[in-house]
Amino acid sequence: MATAVSLFSGCGGSDSGLHAAGHTVLMANDILSYARDFYKKNLPETDFRLGDVRSIDTFPAADILVGCYPCQGFSQGGARQANRAINYLYREFDRALRLIKPKAFIVENVSGMQRSDLSHLLKNQLTRFRLAGYKVNWKVLSAADYGVPQERRRLFLVGIRSDLGIKYEFPEPTHGEGRTNKGRTIKDAIGHLPLWPEGEYNKEEFHWYYLSRNRYRGWDELSKTVVARARHVNLHPVSPSLRRINTDKWEFIDDNPARRFSFRECALLQGFAHDCEFPDTAGMSEKYKVVGNAVPPPLFEAVAKNIPDIW
């Protein structure tokens, strides 16, 4: 189909989606060494360039440019500052866009980018990409609507080069009530795995902050959003459920054993392949981190597949 260059690639969620859509990723880039290790183990054909994107002077010619620049400054969780330097890495994506001049591009970020205090940054991205010569459309999508068993909303910007005379339209939801496919649940994704996979889940205590909110979902529900911090990963359904006892205070309903999702279970809840491999080149926290920061591959696949046949 098409060739692609991927920036801020992480462990390969976006690029796994591109592969599933029939495209070939020529080059990927990220600054995290374990993201590189996971990526190369599972997508070995891609030229992965480890390091700061600002140090990359040239890029391969490609039909598609994709990028998921870091979202800490936009995220609904944790500290949010509109003036953080990390919020301006989209300028590097814009630089690559003008150098490569692909037929299309896809950007993914957290839905918080549309908040009123950050909307100027979203508007600046749209302006830059349009001035670079692209017709751009954007929308917040729910991963659950595209077969991901998780509550996860993400903002996408998709552009098609203006000379091609086409405006991108986002795909219609495919999963859920009244749609072609039923929504996928936690059980659908991880019900086949061992209930207590020794060495694959974080055993830290459930501290007060962890119990300040309900982190439990049952087998037949969607998972809550998969997060990148090992201490904050949500509860596996084998655990007792939680009940609210006060404002921002929850407790287990009984004393039966409880645990967080494993890093492998988090990968499946994100939509990674069942046979994805985790190299033993980093500790458990890094494994959780790269998976939690990833784009759900089925969601990215759906967005990529809806680009018209302009190749």
Verify whether residue 68 is a known catalytic residue.
no
CA distance 213 to 249: 6
Q: What is the CA angle 91-298-279, rounded to 5?
A: 80
CA distance 135 to 157: 10
The answer to whether the CB of 51 falls within 8 A of the CB of 29 is yes
CA distance 97 to 4: 12
CA distance 285 to 144: 26
State the catalytic residue, choosing from 68, 71, 266, 276.
Answer: 71
CA distance 50 to 33: 7
Q: What is the CA angle 150-11-237, rounded to 5?
A: 30
DSSP 72-123: TTT-SSS---TT-GGGGTHHHHHHHHHHH--SEEEEEEEGGGGSTTTHHHHH
CA distance 86 to 84: 5
The answer to whether the CB of 174 falls within 8 A of the CB of 145 is yes
Just list the catalytic residues.
71
